[in-house]
């Protein structure tokens, strides 16, 4: 090991702190369930996932078709705006890049819509480039309904309210339309490392 | 279709539990107020609505159709109230003794 590298290595005395954005605490083994409404239980036979380019549905997958898409395994840290973080969570899902690959000239913003009426808005650039997935498997098991199953959005670099549970539709939009929590004063973007909890942060 | 026996349902409260935060805004006990749902038109006392409190803010839903009626939260010294799902809120006026009688 070179002498030069020692001074530049990541400190190992408090590894958890490196992963913890400002104002967050480590939830440890707990995986808190936040709920703003009843948990939807859409039968898989009636489930589909759609991509809408703003003029209509451009792509649609049934559950079987979605399961047949190439899945990736990922291990990521989660950061909830209610201040808990959870490290090293293991998921499997389809990259959003794959879901959008057949949409020509996509608009710059996305509104994610879920069963139960939940919505959240994101820039397209944050859903592409291998930074976002639609996941159906958590810790090797089918994603439980309370955590957003059968499938949820996962955008780990933003606060967890952006990772819409029970996802059913991604709609491309010319403008950034605020979603469910964003219309209640939560930040339009929601970067945990800049502590963008509320509009104005 | 929604589950009525899962953990989320088990932690659901009735609307009376929203009385605390709402007391900061209203001069009367608002849980007795009746609210008409913008989605389905059902009128019910706020105390009989469904309250989901394990969220970034309290979310009060219609007991008939479960659509969002009201959201209330506190933040950095402010109370925020969103009444988008209530078309009409009917609040009883407290009876005041008539000193001149
Ligand atoms: Zn209703």
Segment B53-97, tens digit of pLDDT: 999 999 999 999 999 999 999 888 889 999 999 999 998 887 776
Mean pLDDT of chain A: 92
Per-residue confidence (pLDDT) for residue B99, from 0 to 100: 62
Strand spans (E) along B5-77:
13-14, 34-37, 43-45, 50-52, 58-61, 68-75
Q: Tell me, what CATH number does A78's domain have? A: 3.90.420.10
Assess A37–B contact: CB distance below 8 Å, yes or no.
yes
**Least Cα separation, residue B43 to chain A (angstroms):** 19
Cα separation of A125 and A93, whole Å?
19
Per-residue confidence (pLDDT) for residue A6, from 0 to 100: 36
**Residue A157 included in any domain:** yes
**Residue A190 included in any domain:** yes
Per-residue pLDDT of chain A (201 residues; tens, 9 = 90+): 333 333 333 444 444 579 999 999 999 999 999 999 999 999 999 999 999 999 999 999 999 999 999 999 999 999 999 999 999 999 999 999 999 999 999 999 999 999 999 999 999 999 999 999 999 999 999 999 999 999 999 999 999 999 999 999 999 999 999 999 999 999 999 999 999 999 988
Q: Which of A35, A183, A184 sits opposite B8 (nearest CB)?
A: A35
Residue A84: other Cβ atoms inside 10 A: 18
**Residue A30 included in any domain:** no
pTM for the model stands at 0.88
**Residue A42 included in any domain:** no
Contact A185 B80 (CB under 8 A): yes
C-alpha A38 – ligand 1 centre gap (Å): 14
Assess A183–B contact: CB distance below 8 Å, yes or no.
yes
Q: How many domains does chain A have?
A: 1
Q: B25 pLDDT exceeds 90?
A: no
**Residue A135 included in any domain:** yes
**Residue A91 included in any domain:** yes
**Residue A138 included in any domain:** yes
Give the pair of three-digit tokens for residue A167: 């996802």
């Amino acid at each position: 090991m070179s002498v030069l590298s020692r001074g530049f290595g990541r400190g190992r005395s408090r590894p958890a702190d490196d992963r913890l954005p400002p104002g967050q605490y480590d939830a440890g083994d707990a995986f808190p369930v936040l709920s703003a409404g009843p948990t939807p239980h859409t039968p898989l036979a009636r489930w589909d996932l759609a991509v809408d380019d703003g003029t209509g549905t451009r792509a649609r997958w049934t559950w079987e078709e979605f399961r047949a898409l190439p899945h990736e395994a990922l291990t990521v840290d989660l950061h909830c705006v209610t201040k808990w973080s959870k490290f090293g969570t293991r998921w499997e899902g389809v990259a959003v890049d794959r879901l959008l690959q057949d949409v020509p000239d996509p608009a710059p913003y996305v509104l994610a819509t879920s069963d139960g009426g939940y919505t959240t808005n994101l820039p397209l650039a944050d859903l592409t480039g291998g930074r976002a997935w639609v996941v159906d498997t958590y810790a090797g098991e089918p994603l439980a309904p309370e955590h957003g199953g059968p499938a949820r959005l996962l955008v780990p670099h933003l606060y967890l309210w952006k990772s819409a549970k029970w996802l059913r539709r991604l709609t491309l939009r010319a403008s950034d339309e605020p979603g469910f929590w964003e219309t209640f004063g939560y930040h339009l973007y929601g970067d945990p490392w800049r502590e963008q909890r509320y509009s104005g942060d | 279709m929604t589950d009525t026996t899962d953990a989320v349902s088990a932690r659901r409260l009735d609307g009376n539990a929203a009385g605390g935060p709402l007391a900061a805004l209203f001069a009367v006990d608002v849980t007795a107020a009746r609210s008409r749902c913008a989605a389905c038109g059902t009128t019910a006392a706020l105390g009989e609505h469904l309250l989901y409190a394990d969220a970034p803010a309290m979310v009060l839903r219609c007991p008939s159709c479960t659509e969002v009626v009201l959201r209330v939260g506190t933040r950095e010294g402010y109370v925020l109230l969103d009444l988008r799902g209530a078309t009409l809120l009917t609040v009883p006026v407290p009876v005041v003794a008539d000193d001149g009688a």
